[in-house]
Amino acid sequence: MNIFSRRSLIIASSAIAMALTSTAPSFAQEKKTLAFVVNVPADFWTIARAGTNKAQAELPNYNIEFYIPGEMSAAAQKKILEDLLARGVAGVAISPVNPDDSTAILNEVASKAVLITHDADAPNSNRLMYVGTDNVAAGRQAGELMKKALPDGGKAMLFVGTMDAANARERSQGIKEAIAGTKIEIIDIRTDGGDQAKAKANVEDTLTKYPDIDLLVGLWAYNTPQIYNAVKALGKAGSVKIVGFDEDQQTLKGVAEGVIDGTVVQQPFEFGYQSMINMAKLIEGDKSVIPANKLQIVPTQIVDKSNVKEFGDNLKKVLGK
């Protein structure tokens, strides 16, 4: 092979290599990842996952991942966020367990990816927006149910995972606003740290310590089923009133039976769906999805015996059952 042939071969090879390099990204470009991070293991999030699944079908250029921490703690969420940052995640939607203790890691995420909150807010962080319930207003709805259950007043106990979470504080605030001026007395708020066995034990202890208790209120999705189970097991169904939150199947069963007076239901499907759709738009430069007050409020409703069947049937359709 003469020198001209070799030179031609080298030039041709270089041209082919450049052509392959320039076209490769269009065929092998990695999809961006969007993460949905929850606060505690609970059936409530099954509905939110259905929402993220719908978003995934509409966002083929993204990978949507769903994260449930092994325990309810800011530390467990921080580990998830650190792992996501190390992988170069494009967007995170999170329900922070303890927003005050998580501000630093949330701001780190916000500096490198699109960050929004759902279910519980972290307004002191650099999150772009919140998607979820107006929890003070939802607390007021629960307070109205309490007044209906105890028109002449009585003693009540509240149950929740942790009072560090914004939604827990806001719901209890709304309840207190609604029952102000009535003869309903809130004895205390019992927390369980996300441990459902402890949640049930808290109810059992309350029924033992306060045999004349009139009303038990569950502020988180798993609390109301645990109240329902404990009350039935101790033969107190009907004599102790129950008000709850969310649409756990046992909660809806208790409402249908008349054991639970009513429950304030959210729309976790929309938490999952809207969070993902909004993040994709923000990544693509569309900031019009951010409300002026940075709050996208998803309405709540009261479910009682009058509408529980209809609500349950609609929920099955949402879950594809």
pLDDT tens per residue, range 54-110? 999 999 999 999 999 999 999 999 999 999 999 999 999 999 999 999 999 999 999
Give CA–CA dist 228/248, Å, rounded.
Answer: 11
- Average confidence (pLDDT) over 2-31: 42
pLDDT at 173: 98
Question: With b meaning 16 or more CB within 10 Å and e meaning fewer, what string describes 49-77?
Answer: bbbbbbbbeebeebebbbbebeebbbebb
pLDDT at 24: 35
pLDDT at 143: 98
263 phi/psi in degrees, rounded to 5: -140, 145
Question: CA triplet 295, 178, 141: central angle to 5 degrees?
Answer: 55
Cα 244 to Cα 146, 152, 186, 316: the distances in Å are: 10, 20, 15, 20
State the chain's mean pLDDT as an integer. 91
Say if residue 252's pLDDT is above 90. Answer: yes
Starting at the earlier edge strand, list the strands of the sheet with 91-94. Answer: 62-67, 32-37, 91-94, 114-118, 129-132, 295-297
Say if residue 131's pLDDT is above 90. Answer: yes
- Determine the 3-state secondary structure of 154 from DSSP: strand
Contacts for 85 with CB less than 8 Å, ≥ 6 apart = 108, 109, 112, 113
